[in-house]
Each structure stands twice: as structure tokens, then as C-alpha cells.
Amino acid sequence: MHLYKVENKERHIWELFSVVAFLNILDIIFTKIAFALGCIEANPIMALIYLKTGFIGLVIFKLSFVFILFFLLKYKKNYRYSYIRNLLYICIVPYIGLTAYHIVNIATLI
């Protein structure tokens, strides 16, 4: 059961993708600010990437997720709307939590 009917499903998918991309960019910005304030990367995988490649490598790795998602949505047209919509929501929810985490932690350091 849906709360509302989506008239243009493809547009809705791209709107959700835009939210994921925006939150990804916010994560990169907040990560840079946190590093400047003396914080360390909490994610062990990202910490290793940062250690080996620096901040540029970390940015490339984080943005690669968005680029892969973009190309899958752009060129894989035979997807089920509900499946892709749910996957995008699954991406959005943790990103919102991560953004809130960044905001709270940076606010306590300033």
C-alpha cells in the first residue's frame, strides 16, 4: 500500500538518485571539515583508503558509488520501479543518519 501515487516513475527515481548524490557530497564536505578539526575516519575501510591514497583517493572512492549508481540507472532501463525505489531509500536512510552524525560531532568540536 502506497501513501501516494507516483505519476512519473522515472522522474521519481532520478529525484531519489539526486538525494543520494547530494547526501554523498555532504558526506565528503563534512568529512573534510572533520579532518581539518583533527578527527579521524571512523569507518575502517575508509580509514585504510585515506591512509593509502589521501583525501583525494577517499573522495574518488566515495564518488564512485554515485557514478556507478548513475550509470546503472541511465543504461539499465528494464528495472522494476519498486525494486530500484526501495534500494534508493535504503541508501538514503543511512546517509541521513551519517549527515546528522557529522553535524552533531562537528558542532561539538567548534
Cα–Cα nearest to 92, from 100, 55, 1: 100
Question: How many domains does one find in the chain?
Answer: 1
Give a yes or no: residue 47 inside a domain: yes
Whole-prediction pTM: 0.83
Domain assignment present for 30 = yes
Q: What residue numbers bound the domain in which 13 lies?
A: 9-109
Q: What is the pLDDT of residues 87-99, one digit of tens each?
A: 899 999 999 999 9
**What is the distance between the alpha carbons of residues 22 and 95, in angstroms, rounded to a whole number?**
10
Q: Averaged over 55-80, what is the pLDDT?
A: 86
Q: How far apart are CA 52 and CA 82, in angstroms?
A: 39
Percent helix, percent strand, percent coil in the chain, to nearest 5: 80, 0, 20
Domain assignment present for 2: no
Of the ranges 22-26, 29-33, 64-68, which one carries the lowest mean pLDDT score? 64-68
Signed CA dihedral, 77, 16, 97, 29: sign only: positive
Residue 4 lies inside a defined structural domain of this protein: no
pLDDT value at residue 4: 58
Instruction: Classify residue 1: in a domain, yes or no.
Output: no
